[in-house]
Amino acid sequence: MNLDRFLPLVFGLHCFAAMGGTADVFRVSQLSSSDLSEPVSVKTLWGEVQRPSLPTHVCTVLPARLTPKHGSIDALDANPQASKPDTKRLQDAIDDCPAGSAVKLVIDSHRKSGFLSGPLHLKSRVTLWIDDGVTLFASRNPKDYDKGNGTCGTATSTHEFSCMP
């Protein structure tokens, strides 16, 4: 198991402890691979929080359809009318996935590694697993976030939000 993949978790726990949490502070240099097999928990005022784990069941594996250039899909998403988000494909997979399972986004056989999406609604206990090397890009097209009144991305005189989060 690659220890580098867990550094953000360790860093986050360390910062939590530094901000006054009740977790024991430990240093990355003190960790070994055997430590990663043991559950890591943080005690809080609300209870004990366990390190998240990936689901053992993957209900759907979705291959990427976009090839980012230099870590970006700007060239593919520059024209909103030509943009082809994966939102429906991703949302359908999430909706069809049972609780306790995951939708896994992977690099396809031609090394395509990008997904483009508008807002997604994750079901309770369904994990969106973005595999190593895959990037989920957010659409820059306001229409992909519009609530139906056609005003997302424009200045309006009302206090109503016209865009989905």
Residue 114: which of 138, 90, 135, 94 has the closest Cα? 135
Q: Tens of pLDDT along 30-76?
A: 444 455 556 588 889 999 988 888 899 999 999 999 999 999 998 88
Which helix (H) or strand (E) element contains residue 50? strand 47-50
Instruction: Give the mean model confidence (pLDDT) for residues 27-31.
Output: 38
Task: Report the half-sphere exposure of 64 (CA within 13 A, side-chain side).
Answer: 25
- Give the distance, in angstroms, between the CA of residue 6 and the centroid of all CA atoms in the same chain: 16
Instruction: Give the mean model confidence (pLDDT) for residues 103-111.
Output: 97
pLDDT greater at residue 33 or residue 130: 130
Quote the pLDDT of residue 4: 44
Is this model's pTM higher than 0.85 or not?
A: no
